[in-house]
Amino acid sequence: MRKFYILVTLFAALILVMTCGCVSVNTTSTTTAASTTASITTTSANPPYDEAEVTPGGWRYRADFTQYNLPRVQQDDVIIGVVPNRCEIIYRSNISTPAGETRTNIFFITLLDVSNIAPSTSVTPIQANLTAVNLPAGLIFTSDGEGTESDPWRSCQVLTHIQIDKSLKPGGYSFQFDVNINGIDYGRIPCAIEIVQ
């Protein structure tokens, strides 16, 4: 009986470490947008609700974890492309923020015309590339690369950041993301940044 209690205690401790020990991500990335090179490092004593955290299942928003008691990140679900090259993308198409902030946008991408049954041969993860198109001055887009889902031959995640210059005036700023997967252009999806006071 004593062994049983020790085992249960060890199991509970392991679960606690796994759920509370999520690694906070400090991102450093460099990209070129509107002839500007930016290096973004996000660190804070009170990280924002949309900060990305690494989990066994890939990237998740900080607000996805109930222990933080934060408002959920609003996301949209779109389908783009044509058969046999359609994909579903879950992402933030509208982001409201004060100027001078960096917002995280995680793109969850799934190829719809690829079987959800694992191929019998070796698995080649999909390669997704997002390019910001018509990005207004004062916004800098960076991508920290891909994360994998449980079915990497048909889905992935792309972690991105949008840095908002503190000089931007309140109002709406729109642009698009061009989506390229495995060398195929799937089209564009919209994004809007609403600068609030």
**Count of residues in the chain:** 197
Q: 114-128: per-residue pLDDT in tens?
A: 888 888 777 788 999
> What is the pLDDT, as a whole number, of residue 116?
82
Of 95-104, 118-127, 184-193, give the lowest mean pLDDT range: 118-127
Beta pairing partners, 104: 161
Provide, rounded to the nearest whole percent, the portion of the chain with pLDDT above 70: 75
Cis peptide before 190 (omega within 30 of 0): no
Q: 165-174: per-residue pLDDT in tens?
A: 999 999 999 9
CB contact at 8 A, 158 and 128: yes
Apex 15 CA angle, 14 and 20, nearest 5: 105
> What is the pLDDT, as a whole number, of residue 47?
56
Q: 4-53: per-residue pLDDT in tens?
A: 444 445 444 444 334 344 333 333 332 323 322 222 333 334 457 788 88
Q: For all residues of the chain together, what is the average pLDDT?
A: 78
Quote the pTM value: 0.73
The tokens for 91 are 């992402």
Q: Residue 187 — pLDDT band, cuts 50, 70, 90?
A: very high
Burial (0-12, 13-18, 19+ Cβ within 10 Å), 50: buried
Q: Which helix (H) or strand (E) holds 177?
A: strand 171-181
> What is the pLDDT, as a whole number, of residue 2?
54
> What is the pLDDT, as a whole number, of residue 150?
79
The tokens for 140 are 């800098």
Q: Which helix (H) or strand (E) holds 54?
A: strand 52-55
All domains of the chain in start order, with CATH: 2-114+123-196 (2.60.40.10)
Three-state DSSP state, 146: strand
Buried-exposed string 161-171: b where 16+ CB fall within 10 A, e elsewhere? bbbbbeebeee
Q: 62-88: per-residue pLDDT in tens?
A: 888 767 677 788 999 999 999 999 999
> What is the pLDDT, as a whole number, of residue 41?
33
